[in-house]
């Protein structure tokens, strides 16, 4: 049976009043291409559904252009309307918008929890691990507790000039939930896999992370 992967996107478009933001297009587009190339079915959904705010789009990248064209041809559903039993993996794409709506959205957590507890893969890249900050399992424990993870680092947040703008520092928040955060140099690709939890540090980690997800599902 063909594996099915859900790519989950933020619907938040305001970077703390500094500028507009959203999901980071290449962090969804390149995994989308890799998953399709592996023969998987891919669905894209967002917190609010419908037109999803974009950030980081490079029109010179044909993969990003193809991804956005694909989204235009289909209705992007709300995460709340999806059944986790339909998916073998959920992939939380990043973008600064996730820092506002991912942590406390009940369906962001529900989908990750139910996919994981059914034996599926949970993956997140860059700011996408904001979805993991408050994601608890049925026994009340945090999914990330005791697990190795990668996510956008404090140093990278400072380099981006928004360490004092985001509502929290992602690496610190994951550590407070018991995760063992592992970072490398700013904006270098870095992927960490701990069982069926796979995470990537930054935009450069999106494609390598997607490849690891393919390996986990194969």
- Residues marked active site are found at 126-127, 157
The CA angle 150-195-167, to the nearest 5 degrees, is 30
Q: What gap in Å lies between CA 161 and CA 159, rounded to an integer?
A: 5
CB 77 within 8 A of CB 49: yes
Residue-by-residue DSSP string for 138-206: TTS-BTTTT-EE----HHHHHHTT-TTTSSS-HHHHHHHTT-EE---STT---EEEETTEEEESSGGGH
| Residue 144 CB-half CA count within 13 A | 30
CB 100 within 8 A of CB 12: yes
């Amino acid at each position: 049976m063909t594996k099915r992967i859900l790519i989950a996107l933020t619907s938040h478009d305001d970077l703390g009043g500094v500028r507009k933001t959203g999901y980071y297009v290449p962090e969804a587009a390149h995994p989308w291409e890799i998953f399709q190339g592996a023969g998987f079915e891919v669905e894209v959904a967002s917190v609010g559904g419908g037109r999803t705010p974009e950030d980081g789009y490079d029109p010179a990248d044909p993969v990003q252009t193809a991804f956005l064209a694909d989204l235009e041809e289909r209705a992007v559903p709300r995460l709340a309307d999806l059944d986790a039993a339909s998916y073998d993996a959920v992939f939380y794409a990043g973008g600064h918008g996730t820092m506002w709506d991912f942590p406390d959205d009940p369906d962001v957590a529900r989908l990750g929890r139910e996919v994981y507890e059914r034996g599926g893969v949970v993956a997140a890249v860059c700011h996408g691990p904001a979805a993991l900050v408050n994601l608890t399992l049925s026994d009340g424990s945090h999914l990330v507790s005791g697990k190795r993870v990668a996510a956008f680092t404090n140093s990278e947040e400072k380099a981006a000039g928004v360490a004092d703008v985001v509502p929290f520092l992602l690496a610190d928040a994951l550590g407070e939930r018991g995760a063992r955060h592992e970072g490398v140099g700013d904006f270098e690709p870095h992927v960490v896999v701990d069982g069926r939890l796979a995470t990537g540090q930054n935009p450069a980690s999106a494609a390598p992370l997607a490849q690891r997800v393919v390996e986990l599902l194969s």
